[in-house]
Amino acid sequence: MAFDLKKLPRLNWADLDETNKVCEGILTALSDRAVLRTLVERTENDPELFGLCEIHELDDKIVLHNDLENGYRIRIRLANDKQYERAHNHRFSFTTRILHGTYYQRWYEVKGTLDENTTLNDISPVCIREEPAGSVFTIDHDTIHSTQTSKDTISLVICGPAMKDKAFIIRMDNGSVWYKVGKTLKRRSGRRMC
Amino acid sequence: MINLNDIPVIDWDDFEKASEVTKQVVKELAADKATLRRLVYDIENNPDLLRQCERHQLLDRLVIYDGGHKNFKIRLNFTTMDHFDRPHDHRFSFTSLILRGSYRHIWYKYDREIYDPAMDEVAKKWVDRYNPDDMSSIDIPDMEPLFITEEKKNACYTMHHSVIHATITTPDSLSLFLKGPGEKSRSIIADRQTNKLWWRYGETDESEERRKQKLMPVEVYRELRGKLETWGII
């Protein structure tokens, strides 16, 4: 089955409601095995897409499509087995469809803003939930959440353009805080401790 | 077979532990049709439970178990034919398990203070959509979505009473709902279409008139019980 990524409608990430509805349809169509296979194989021979793929401690990312001008960076996220609870926000808003496995997700409230001064006393979970395979959710870049996964969890993600320079993370077992920046601001890979 | 009398006292201040315990309870109860059936049928002969069953514009509610000092009550929430985007919080924290149907679920952000204790008594006048709070300075359009998903059958989550969310339902959806005790005197409910808001209070703070308005007639209870049987829930 063919899927023409060049014909995707422009996304308005400022309207999360509308974007959620549009992305849900796109992700459902993209979840077709044959479509996904074609896109994954294409990435290997596309230097731009391949150059955007990443490996991290907790997950790896294969980029399938990059058109941030119209609101899309589409990637597959493969969670690694190492898991720990880390509350974080993002530089960008995004929509996720769980293809395989389960996300164990928490929402958090924080006193003030999540930044280098945040301690464990400032942050608390306000919703504890599960997202099984087939779930789709859209999340604003300012939302603070954590996601731990069951073994071999894979999700398909449409990321919007970056809305801020830094996304903060706080490790909930020891309170260590750090931030992530985008490639244009990154001077070295991985994280910096605050 | 689950015995709800064996559930220990739930400490909702330990949100994580409360979630773990209450999720297990609702999942086990949902799988135990015989117990669920007995609880639903027992309502008709239990005046205390029957008078807690309520009708609202967006949902009908059966109270099937009152845990008393153990800090939980269990309800079955049935959606009606009306579905609106009404951001609201709750006076209590709770765990919900969807048994049937689905709803669009939105977590909203509102950065300013909602509750003014000085207004707790005055706000008792504004308790439904016909008597909204027109004096409030809360800016409903300022409530912004943080998270949007579609909750489907078997979705299960525990939510703190401070969260403002909206559940835009579909007809004939059903949830098993385990709630904790009230932790604030009132909760807010806002309508994004009309830009009106009003307040919800606990039973002890409600007027007799408000209680009568919501009270479910026994005929409606029997009708809902019939739906549960038709749907294969009990």
Q: Report pLDDT for A189.
A: 45
Residue B21 lies in a domain: yes
Mean pLDDT of B149-167: 97
**Best mutation site among B111, B143, B157 for testing chain A: the one with the most A CBs within 10 Å?**
B157
| Percent of chain A residues past pLDDT 70, beyond the cut | 93
Contact A121, A60 (CB under 8 A): no
pTM for this one?
A: 0.94
Give domain limits for chain A. Answer: 11-84+92-161
Q: What is the pLDDT of residue A2?
A: 55
pLDDT digits (tens, 9 = 90+) for B166-213: 999 999 999 999 999 999 999 999 999 999 999 999 988 988 888 888
State the Cα–Cα distance between residues B119 and B107, nearest whole angstrom.
26
ipTM value: 0.95
Classify residue B150: in a domain, yes or no: yes
Query: How confident is the model at residue A110, as a pLDDT?
Result: 96
Q: Can you give the pLDDT at residue A183?
A: 73
Q: Is residue B208 part of a domain?
A: no
Give the gap in angstroms from C-alpha B27 to the nearest C-alpha of chain A: 13
The whole-number average pLDDT for the span B115-137 is: 93
B51-67 pLDDT, tens digit each: 999 999 889 999 999 99
Assigned CATH topology for domain A11-84+92-161: Jelly Rolls (2.60.120)
Point out which residues pair with A131 in neighbouring strands. A103
Whether chain B has a CB inside 8 Å of the CB on A131: the answer is yes
User: What is the rounded CA–CA span in Å between residue B122 and residue B118?
Assistant: 8
Rounded CA gap, B10 and A11, in Å? Answer: 45
A40, two tokens: 């994954």
Determine contact: A57 vs chain B, CB below 8 A.
no
**Which one, of A38, A92, A28, lies nearest residue A65 by Cα?**
A38
Which helix (H) or strand (E) covers residue B65, if one does?
strand B59-66
Spatial distance between the Cα atoms of A180 and B9, rounded to a whole number of angstroms: 42
CATH of the domain at B168: 2.60.120.10
Does A3 contact chain B (CB < 8 Å)? no
Note the pLDDT of residue A194.
38
- Mean pLDDT, chain B, as a whole number? 95
Q: How far apart are CA A138 and CA A81, in angstroms?
A: 24
Side-chain half-sphere exposure of A36, counting CA atoms within 13 A: 17
Which residue range forms the structural domain that includes residue B74?
4-201+214-230
The number of folded domains in chain B is 1
Handedness of CA A83, A88, A89, A92 (dihedral sign): negative
pLDDT of residue A191: 42
What is chain A's pLDDT, residue by residue, as a tens digit (194 residues)?
A: 456 888 899 999 999 999 999 999 999 999 999 999 999 999 999 999 999 999 988 899 999 999 999 999 999 999 998 789 999 999 999 999 999 999 999 999 999 999 999 999 999 999 999 999 999 999 999 999 999 999 999 999 999 999 999 999 999 999 999 999 987 666 444 443 33
The residues near B13 (Cβ < 8 Å, ≥ 6 apart) are: none
Dihedral pair phi/psi, residue B152, rounded to 5°: -115, 180
Cβ contact B145–A132 (<8 Å): no
Pick the residue of B14, B97, B108, B147 with the most A CBs within 10 A to test the interface with A by mutation.
B147
Cβ burial of B76 (10 Å; 0-12, 13-18, 19+) is: buried
Please list the alpha-helical segments (H only) found in A109-190. none
Q: Domain for residue B207, yes or no?
A: no
pLDDT reported for residue A82: 79
Return the higher-pLDDT residue of B214 and B88: B88
The three-state secondary structure class of B155 is coil
